[in-house]
Amino acid sequence: MTRWTYRPCIIAGTSRPNDFVVIRDGKHVGRVIQERLGMSAGSELVWGWATRTYPSVHGYAPTLEEALERVRQGATDDLPETGVDRRRGG
């Protein structure tokens, strides 16, 4: 059975509110982060989501739960390999 979870995203030793790494069976497969849609301070808050599997997919969702579900749906079994540049075929 596949085990899904998420935890705060830590970059350079720090994390920020509403920024999470999505984990499938112990491997990072995506990220969700709450952000403003547009440049103005009054713009709508949404959840941006993205997968880091190949091919990657991304988009926006109105809730954290929906963003997590979209990562689960979009994360394939093909995780990027360290040191491989897929644009050049290997």
Residues 24-81 have pLDDT tens digits of: 999 999 999 999 887 766 778 999 999 998 889 999 999 999 999 999 999 987 766 6
Query: How far apart (Å, rounded) are the C-alpha atoms in residues 76 and 66?
Result: 18
Query: How far apart (Å, rounded) are the C-alpha atoms in residues 11 and 35?
Result: 17
Q: Cβ–Cβ contacts within 10 Å for residue 47, how many?
A: 22
Query: How far apart (Å, rounded) are the C-alpha atoms in residues 44 and 22?
Result: 23
Dig out the tokens for 66 from the structure.
Answer: 């929906």
Query: Which uninterrupted H or E stretch holds 74?
Result: helix 64-74
Q: What is the predicted pLDDT for the residue at 90?
A: 44
